[in-house]
Amino acid sequence: MQQLFNKKALIDAAITTHLDQELINFQQQQLAKPLFSLLKVFVVKGKTVRGGLFLSYLEAANPQFYLEKQSELLKIAAALEIIHAGILAHDDVIDQDEQRRGSNSVWQEYRLQAEAANYHDPINYGKNQAICVGSICQYLANQLIEQTTIGKLINQEITKTYLAEMLDSQITANPEIPSIETVLELYQFKTARYTFGLPLKLAATILQTSTKDTHVLEQISNAIGLIFQIQDDLIGLLENSEKSGKPLLSDIREGKKTIVYLQLLRNCDEAETTLLHTHFGKQQQINQEDGKALQNLIHSKALPDIKIRLQTLANETKELINSLDDEGATKNLLQDLLHFNLSRDY
């Protein structure tokens, strides 16, 4: 993963340069400068996984091409990160998350500004502003990719991401328990495809990779993305808020019907299920005693089955990686990516 993170400085610089250039077009509007200042902090605060993966795969597959086209490729990488920031701004409004990346979410930042200025209805103000910020991010990204051949592919995949966001809202609002297949569909389209599948598919398209390998690469990236999201659920539930970047057990408090929740329903007895539903969807802080009890339940009643699922996915992914025609650095990159996602702590 170090080679992905090594790309971060390049991508961050491209993002900052682009935002500075775009700000010139909006100088007459009083809210532009504070918005762009917020974005310059918020966008680059992430790990830059999507842009980094896109660049790293291209460099591994064709180092000469990567060096010759780096300026153009950096624009695409920057666009992926700006799109991601916009999706997060919207996602935190939908989930009512007050924290993101260890700091205030966008809507919470605007809410606190409104409270300090004694605005009317600060919560609604913060959410309205964040919705606008997310939409502006899409515009800013399009300015980077509209003259490239892969702009349509990116916009199509992001539409699929927002359809999955709609499914997420439906699952949360619907009192019925979804199937594991439905939750995996959500994971596939909300996280896996656009976090891992899209960067690799873009790289394969640019390099004109064979149809066979492109199809296999898509299967690999989708599987790694599922592993990433399942691990992310576990980190959010089993790690403290400082490490996860979210409030303790936030998925339970928000009533998120994750694969962990479904596994708990399958394996918990009546008393354990009662404890779970005492806090599920209640949007209230969980006391330390109940929080510890819930984490113990996750370890004993959900984690064993989930680990089996993760290992099965990993084994299938290793076979797919080995089936690729390429024998060089791209296989090593994919193997490292798989190992990193499997070994994330919780």
Mean pLDDT of 246-255: 82
Mean pLDDT of 197-212: 90
* pLDDT at 142 exceeding the cut of 80: yes
**What is the DSSP secondary-structure string of 265-326?**
HHH--HHHHHHHHHHTT--SPPPHHHHHHHHHHIIIIIHHHHHHHHHHHHHHHHHHHHHSS-
> How does the average pLDDT of the chain come out, rounded?
90
* pLDDT at 241 exceeding the cut of 70: no
Could you tell me the domains of the chain?
1-148 (1.10.600.10), 177-346 (1.10.600.10)
Mean pLDDT of 153-162: 84
Residue bearing the bigger pLDDT, 33 or 239: 33
Mean pLDDT of 216-228: 94
Specify the 3-state DSSP secondary structure of 86.
helix
pLDDT band at 174 (very low <50, low <70, confident <90, very high): confident
pLDDT band at 270 (very low <50, low <70, confident <90, very high): very high
End-to-end CA distance of the chain: 18
Please tell me the least confidently modeled range out of 18-27, 226-235, 247-256.
247-256
Residue bearing the bigger pLDDT, 91 or 5: 91
pLDDT band at 224 (very low <50, low <70, confident <90, very high): very high
